[in-house]
């Protein structure tokens, strides 16, 4: 599964911070921006970014202990939305760490595809609600269920292999 995603076996953020970001997301559910694809159409992703997210004390501490720079934002998928198969723009990010927040049960997986016309996919489940490093340079999608799907993301400009190597060698987050 290495080329598509890498599951972490421990959480990075505290339960308090998960609760805070879940509350922020729910309190601002109508303030999320729909992401627009290269053809000018909403692609099914919605995001909420605020400079203040970057300076929450626990986030500041994690950033201080991280060997690479990253930015923090919330992602939301509306009930029953289908995310268009896409690769993320490498100018902005090549990989990320996803922290699933809600729903706590039945959190929809991320699906990775080999080609645009190929319907075979590799499934990244979040069964333990633990963080996962995603390779955003591969085609991916979400078919959401009837719940709002909310996660916190740390976005990196470095590619997936770099992030995973650092993480495995305990050099991504230095304590």
Exposure of 157 by Cβ count < 10 A (0-12 exposed, 13-18 middle, 19+ buried)?
middle
- Closer to Fe ion by CB, 88 or 160: give it: 88
Instruction: Indicate the helix (H) or strand (E) that contains 133.
Output: strand 132-135
Q: Supply φ then ψ for residue 58, to 5 degrees.
A: -65, -35
- Closer to Fe ion by CB, 24 or 88: give it: 88
- Closer to Fe ion by CB, 14 or 41: give it: 41
- Closer to Fe ion by CB, 7 or 138: give it: 138
Kindly state the smallest distance separating residue 124's Cβ from Fe ion, in Å: 12
Kindly state the smallest distance separating residue 64's Cβ from Fe ion, in Å: 27
C-alpha span between 152 and 150 (Å, rounded): 7
**Which residue number has the CB closest to Fe ion?**
88
In the complex, which residues of this chain contact Fe ion (CB under 5 A)? 88
C-alpha span between 26 and 7 (Å, rounded): 26
Residue length, the chain? Answer: 175
Q: Which two tokens stand for residue 41?
A: 């159409």
Kindly state the smallest distance separating residue 171's Cβ from Fe ion, in Å: 26
Cβ(125)–Cβ(75) below 8 Å? no
Cβ(83)–Cβ(43) below 8 Å? yes
For residue 13, give Cα distances in angstroms to 18, 53, 164, 165. 7, 13, 18, 20
Kindly state the smallest distance separating residue 5's Cβ from Fe ion, in Å: 12
- Closer to Fe ion by CB, 142 or 172: give it: 142
Kindly state the smallest distance separating residue 96's Cβ from Fe ion, in Å: 8
């Amino acid at each position: 599964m290495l080329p598509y995603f890498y599951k972490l076996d421990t959480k990075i953020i505290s339960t308090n911070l998960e609760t805070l970001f879940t509350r922020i997301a729910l309190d601002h559910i109508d303030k999320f921006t729909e992401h627009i694809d290269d053809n000018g159409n909403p692609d099914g992703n919605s995001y909420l970014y605020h400079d203040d997210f970057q300076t929450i004390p626990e986030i500041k501490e994690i950033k201080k202990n991280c060997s690479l720079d990253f930015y923090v934002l919330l992602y939301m998928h509306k009930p029953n939305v289908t995310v268009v198969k896409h690769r993320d723009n490498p100018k902005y990010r090549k990989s990320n760490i996803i922290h699933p927040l809600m729903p706590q049960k039945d959190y929809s997986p991320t699906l990775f595809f080999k080609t645009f016309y190929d319907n075979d996919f590799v499934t990244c489940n979040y069964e333990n609600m633990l963080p996962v490093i995603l390779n955003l340079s591969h085609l991916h999608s979400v078919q959401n269920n009837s719940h709002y799907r909310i996660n916190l993301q740390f976005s990196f400009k470095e590619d997936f292999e770099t992030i995973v190597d650092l993480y495995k060698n305990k050099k991504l987050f230095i304590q």
